[in-house]
A and B are shown apart, each in its own frame.
Chain A
Amino acid sequence: MRYPLIITNAAQMHIKYKLILPLVFLLSGIMLYPFIFSLWLSLQDYRLTRINDVQFVGFENFGFIATDQSFLNAMGNTISFVASAVIFELILGLSLALLIQKLVIFKGLVRSILLAPMFITPIAVGLMFRFLLNSEIGIIPFYLLRVGVSLDWFGPELALFSIVLIDVWQWTPFMLLMFLAGLEALPKTPFEAARVDGAGRWLTFFSITLPMLRPVIVVALIIRALDAFKVFEYVFAITRGGPGNSTETIMYYIYQTGFRFFRMGEAAAASILLIIFILVFVILIVNLSRPKVIK
């Protein structure tokens, strides 16, 4: 029997399509449709305050956003934030994973404790640190002052850095989780071969462990970076973008544009620019991290 070109009734459909049908319907409804809606939105002058007066404006929103000082500033803040947070987290996470692997006792306990922060709601983390670092009632500035260090953690110079630190506190555990999983999945024998071959700890690490972990590192890096681009809660909980606009991140910018100033069209355009930027970033990372071809 020839396979019908057009599937005319459900009974004839291959089971593999039946199995994915619910997911396809769900995701089309809650992701694909909003995504297309967003694309359309970005081409309109759509204000929540004038919802019956929507006009097609072409790429005007993009033009506005791309030249908006606030947007560029938010983009700059976000990029510095992502770069510094992710690099810290990568190095710390990898070091901790290697240390935990070497633990002889309490391995499970230490792992559980160190993974804990990543499961907590970020708004709670933000508020916790806002409280701990507060210059009047925070315990950390209080004791730093006793040893003669006076820092305004949420002042103009340090605010972005403090938010990076908070992100590092919460999300280094994610890197740790990825690297523990990665290390666990590595075959054991190459390491034994390396011992017999006489390689010391550093040579083994740089020539064997690190190259074998590369796929995990790339995946962890991408997931974490994309997640860090979405940073919102810490800013919302602590600085609301300030002082000035020194901690305004891209998500906070979109939130403000869309839901404080009700300019939906421009917010949509900003989020599409963000997606394009993220896409370029991912492609770049994937390409850069490919092993060099040896001739």
Chain B
Amino acid sequence: MIVSFENRLSRFLGTTAIFIAIILVLFPFFWIFLESIKPPSLGGRPDIWRFEPSWENWGEIVFNSNVPLNILNSFFIALITVVISLICGAPAAYAFSRFRGFQGARYSILAAEMMPPAILILPLFLLLYKLELIDSRVGVITAHLTFVVPVVTWFLIGFFDEVPKDLEDQAMIDGYTRFQAFYKVILPVVRPGLAAAGIFGFVLSWNDLFYSLLLTGAESRTLPVAIAGFWTFRGIELGKMAVAILIAVIPVLILSYSIQKHLIRGIGGSGVKY
């Protein structure tokens, strides 16, 4: 028995539905992987399932393209973005969770997250243009902060809400200042939450195309922009595109797997429960 329904028919239908969903999700990955190990001469042939696997595409991308540089850019940008987000977001999230007078702030944070990039990109672009920071990592980090900071802060509020208030009261009775209580006692308690929020922010930054497309050039190009460059479907390029896609996707899937439980808890704790 896979699904706990009393009725046999519903059990069968439920199981089937889940199988179909799994196949629909996995098939594209599977096909892309097959494409990545097809010899380039067979690229883009939907009728070919059996062939001698070849790592030529992988070799090309790893040793003979800009993709490693793009990966480095993406990684560096995402990392710095997350560090800044956590440094600014954690104390504020703690304040929003603990002190009165910040009820509205929670929703402002959510509203900030909802701000369409269209309205921010124009001024950011002009500003960075004037400062001659187009095609610099600093510029992209600035842009990515606009959507990573609010998300990270929002999740952290939920995690701080779950820590009993007695904990810092105890620390203060033990002779710590409020601020010491925060970073010596509370921060270590929410470390898993910090990690989860940080990883989520990292994934968001890693995945962004819109800002990176407009703010990067040859030097600072990120992986999604590079992938977008495989736009033309010349048969020979298909395998390489598949490799680049897999390289962008695999680390993110591993990271996100590690935080799923926290995400579910984080959402459950952010005031959407009964």
Contacts and interface: CB of A to CB of B under 8 A. Distances in A.
In-complex A–B contact (CB below 8 Å):
yes
Interface residues of B, number: 96
A213 to B, nearest CB: 9
A114 B19 CA distance: 10
A38 B209 contact: no
A24 B122 CA distance: 22
A62 interface: no
B123 A182 contact: no
Given A38-B122, A110-B18, A116 B253 contact: yes
Contacts of A100: 18
Contacts of A181: 263-268, 272
B88 A26 contact: yes
A103 interface: yes
B3 A278 contact: no
Interface centre among A33, A34, A38, A226 (most CB of B within 10 A): A34
Contacts of A38: 119-120, 122-123
A137 B99 contact: no
A250 B241 CA distance: 28
B114 A278 contact: yes
What is the size category of the interface that chain A forms with chain B? 35 or more
Contacts of B153: 23
B146 to A, nearest CB: 5
A124 B263 contact: no
A120 B274 contact: no
B116 A267 contact: no
A133 to B, nearest CB: 10
Contact of A15 (B22, B146, B179): B179
A120 B251 CA distance: 10
Contacts of B175: none
A137 B17 contact: no
B197 interface: no
Interface in A82-141: 95-96, 99-100, 102-106, 110-117, 119-124, 127-132, 134, 136-139
A165 B240 CA distance: 25
Contacts of A236: 209, 213, 228
Nearest to B212: A123
A137 B267 contact: no
A67 to B, nearest CB: 20
Interface centre among A23, A122, A138, A215 (most CB of B within 10 A): A23
B47 to A, nearest CB: 7
A211 to B, nearest CB: 10
Contact of B119 (A19, A139, A237, A274): A274
Interface string A174-200: 000110111011110000000000000
Interface stretch (A2-10, A152-160, A251-259, A287-295): A251-259
A139 B145 contact: no
Given A103-B2, A137-B238, A229-B116, A116 B256 contact: yes
B3 A103 contact: yes
B91 interface: yes
Contact of B126 (A119, A137, A182, A264): A264
Interface of B: 1-5, 14, 17-18, 21-22, 24-26, 28, 31-32, 35, 44-47, 84, 87-89, 91-92, 94-96, 98-99, 101-102, 105, 112, 114-127, 142-143, 145-146, 149-150, 153, 178-179, 182, 203, 206-210, 213-214, 223-224, 227-228, 230-231, 233, 235, 238, 241, 245, 248-249, 252-253, 255-257, 260, 263-268, 272-274
14 contacts: A16-B99, A22-B91, A34-B123, A38-B119, A38-B123, A113-B22, A117-B25, A119-B207, A121-B224, A215-B274, A233-B210, A250-B118, A264-B126, A275-B119
Given A255-B118, A268-B119, 12 more contacts: A23-B89, A23-B153, A26-B88, A119-B253, A121-B227, A136-B44, A137-B233, A181-B267, A215-B272, A226-B116, A230-B118, A258-B125
- The 6 A-B pairs with the shortest beta carbon distances in the complex, nearest first, are A137-B44, A37-B123, A23-B92, A34-B123, A185-B273, A121-B207
